[in-house]
């Protein structure tokens, strides 16, 4: 699964922070949609290792600007 480039998990309410721990190893991931999932700021920090990520949809999530700082 390391060659995965796009993943849309929007509206998958069972997707949580635990799932984000697995995604951090998908280094080729470029587009990720997580809107309306159960992911929180803690889960977003797991994505900081995804250096090829160019699109991230976090619509409807309880994410603050501070939690996005880990992605820079």
Q: Answer yes or no: are the C-beta atoms of 14 and 35 closer than 8 Å.
A: no
Residue 72 clears pLDDT 80, i.e. is over it? no
Euclidean distance between CA atoms 1 and 39, whole angstroms: 21
pLDDT digits (tens, 9 = 90+) for 60-71: 998 888 888 888
Mean pLDDT of 21-26: 90
Euclidean distance between CA atoms 5 and 63, whole angstroms: 23
Sequence-separated (6 or more) residues with CB below 8 Å from residue 69: none
Domain boundary assignment for the chain: 6-62
pLDDT recorded at residue 3? 87
Note if the pTM is more than 0.85: yes
pLDDT recorded at residue 1? 62
pLDDT digits (tens, 9 = 90+) for 36-56: 999 999 999 989 999 999 999
Angle at 69 between CA 36 and CA 20, to 5 degrees: 45
């Amino acid at each position: 699964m390391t060659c995965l480039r796009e993943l849309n998990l929007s509206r998958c309410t069972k997707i949580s922070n635990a799932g984000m721990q697995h995604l951090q190893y998908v280094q080729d991931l470029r587009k990720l949609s997580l809107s309306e999932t159960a992911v929180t700021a803690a889960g977003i920090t797991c994505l900081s290792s995804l250096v090829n990520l160019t699109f991230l949809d976090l619509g409807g999530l309880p994410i603050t600007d501070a939690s996005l700082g880990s992605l820079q």
